[in-house]
Amino acid sequence: MLKIAVILFLTVSLLTANYSPPVAPVFAQTTNKQALDDYFFQLEIYQDSHSDFVIARDSYKQFGTLASKTEAFNKTKEYLTQVTTLLISYDNAIITILANNNGLTNEQKDPYVLKVKDHKTNFGNIQIRINQIKRLEDFNQIAGDIETEKQIHDENGEVAVELSKIGYINSNILSLNQYIGLIDVKISAAKRSGKNVSYFEIGPQEIRKRLTSSNELVAKSLEIIASTDRTASGKVALADQNLSEAQKQLLEATSFFKEIIRNLI
């Protein structure tokens, strides 16, 4: 009996040794998609909330009854709370996108992340004030405060998004820089094996030229974003021009890469 038990145990152990249970996905940090999905979800709720608010406000203005006033109070409270929730989820999305951007250093990201975090805090404080309001008329002041905060918030948001674009282009430069190292190794091997290497003399040079040029354009874009002598939209427009040129240079570099690989094969 003991023998049978031991044999059975060993058999089961051997059978289960190769079995690996399905591994549950681990989310170390919020992905861009999750953050954007949350933002769009809040945007949908905002739209519903806005419709309810408009109906309640117009109804109160038309009839002026106590019931319509109570309804207008409740719906305005819900609506303004949702406005701030939407703006906070927008800030969260920006913070996430910057955090997940591999083309920027922490030193480059941090000042903008801090600005966006400040807005989040301010909208959070406004939410507390909304909850404390007792009179319908007091919502006018709160709406004005949200508008003032939102103006600076939107400008900083636009700049932060532009910074993320710069990081995106920079991460592509970094990748292509790694690939040029691999190409160099392959070209050396091809030369040693006596392959026709005429194209290999030009291709890598052209790639390097374009990578250097796009690198300079990215640095210029970063300078523009950090400058204080332009408005937010002015900075974004100018940085965008530089990024378009950098993007063009990188696309040309990828064409050279493909040509070299074709020759190596």
Asked if 80 contacts 147 with a C-beta cutoff of 8 angstroms, the reply is no
The amino acid present at 69, given as its one-letter code, is K
The amino acid present at 179, given as its one-letter code, is Y
CA-CA distance, 127 to 58, in Å (whole number)? Answer: 24
Asked if 169 contacts 243 with a C-beta cutoff of 8 angstroms, the reply is yes
**What x-and-dash track marks residues 65-104 binding other proteins by CB under 8 A?**
-------x---x---x--x--xx--x--xx--x-------
**What x-and-dash track marks residues 155-174 binding other proteins by CB under 8 A?**
--xx--x--xx--xx--x--
CA-CA distance, 250 to 169, in Å (whole number)? Answer: 9
SS3 content of the chain, % helix, strand, coil (to 5): 85, 0, 15
Least distance to other proteins from the beta carbon of 59, Å? 13
Least distance to other proteins from the beta carbon of 70, Å? 13
Number of residues that bind other proteins (CB under 8 A): 68
Length of the chain: 265
The 8-class DSSP code of residue 226 comes to H
Burial (CB count <10 Å: 0-12, 13-18, 19+), residue 63 = exposed
**What x-and-dash track marks residues 171-190 binding other proteins by CB under 8 A?**
-x--xx--x--xx--x----
- 16 sits near other proteins (criterion: CB under 8 A): yes
Q: List the interface residues with other proteins, window 186-225 (CB under 8 A).
A: 186
Site stretch for other proteins (CB under 8 A), options 17-25, 102-110, 122-130, 193-201: 17-25
Least distance to other proteins from the beta carbon of 40, Å? 8
Q: Which residue has the tokens 């970063």?
A: 222
Q: Which residues contact 44 (CB under 8 A, 6 or more apart)?
A: none
Q: List the interface residues with other proteins, window 122-161 (CB under 8 A).
A: 136-137, 139-140, 142-144, 146-147, 150, 153-154, 157-158, 161
| Residue with smaller CB distance to other proteins, 79 or 220 | 79
| Residue 48 tokens, joined | 């519903």
- 22 sits near other proteins (criterion: CB under 8 A): yes
Query: Of 220, 213, 113, 91, whose CA–CA distance to 166 is shortest?
Result: 220
For other proteins, the binding residues (CB under 8 A) are 1-2, 4, 8, 11-12, 15-16, 18-19, 21-22, 32-33, 36, 39-40, 43, 46, 50, 57, 60, 72, 76, 80, 83, 86-87, 90, 93-94, 97, 136-137, 139-140, 142-144, 146-147, 150, 153-154, 157-158, 161, 164-165, 168-169, 172, 175-176, 179, 182-183, 186, 247, 250-251, 254-255, 257-258, 261, 264-265
